[in-house]
């Protein structure tokens, strides 16, 4: 049993890292402050929709759906998904968690 990260997953990891560095990490604080403010209850920050568009444009969208979910899946195997370390590091998607529901919109319950 070996878990070699293949080139496909490596390449996606690089693109994810760039996306996270440019768009996600710098906004974490802002997201946390916005969602903790009672005046903004149940709302998303303005930039949230644009970020989804950007993730789609870069083909970093719905990566979590494994290939058995064709035609909606971008085609990764479970092992390739599990190898997306940057996705993993930033999967702080739970509820108010730092962000990144983007790439994983709704992994949490469905």
Partner 1 sequence: MEVLAKYGTSDQQKDWLEPLLAGEIRSAYAMTEPDVASSDATNMELEIRRDGDEYVLNGKKWWTTGVITPKCKFMLVMGKSNPENSRHTQHSTIIVPTDAKGFEIIRPLRAFGEYHSPGGEGDVIFKNVRVPVTNLILGEGRGFEIAQGRLGPGRFQYAMMFVGMAQRSLELMCERAQSRVAFGEALIKKTSVQHEIAKSRCDIEQCRLLVLAAAEKMDKYGIDAARDYISMLKIVAPKMCEDVSSRAIQIFGGMGVSQDTPLAHIFTTSRFCRIADGPDEVHMSQLAKLTIRSLSGN
Interacting residue ranges for partner 1, rule: CB under 8 A: 1, 3, 28, 32-33, 35-36, 40-44, 52, 56, 61-62, 64-66, 69, 72, 77-79, 81-83, 87-98, 102, 104-110
DSSP annotation of 37: S
Tokens of 71: 């035609």
User: Dihedral angle at the C-alpha atoms of 62, 73, 6, 22, nearest 10 degrees?
Assistant: -20
**CB-CB neighbours of 90 under 10 Å:** 23
Closer CB to partner 1, residue 15 or residue 67?
Answer: 67
Q: How far is the CB of 37 from partner 1 (least distance, A)?
A: 9
Closer CB to partner 1, residue 18 or residue 106?
Answer: 106
């Amino acid at each position: 049993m070996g878990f070699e990260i293949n080139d496909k997953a490596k390449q996606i990891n690089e693109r994810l890292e760039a996306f996270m560095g440019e768009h996600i990490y710098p906004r974490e604080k802002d997201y946390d402050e916005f969602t903790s403010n009672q005046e903004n209850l149940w709302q998303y920050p303005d930039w949230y929709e644009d970020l989804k568009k950007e993730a789609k444009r870069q083909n970093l969208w719905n990566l979590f759906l494994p290939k058995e979910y064709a035609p909606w899946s971008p085609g990764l195997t479970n092992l390739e998904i599990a190898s997306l370390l940057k996705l993993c590091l930033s999967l702080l998607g739970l509820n108010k968690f730092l962000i990144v529901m983007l790439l994983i919109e709704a992994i949490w319950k469905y």
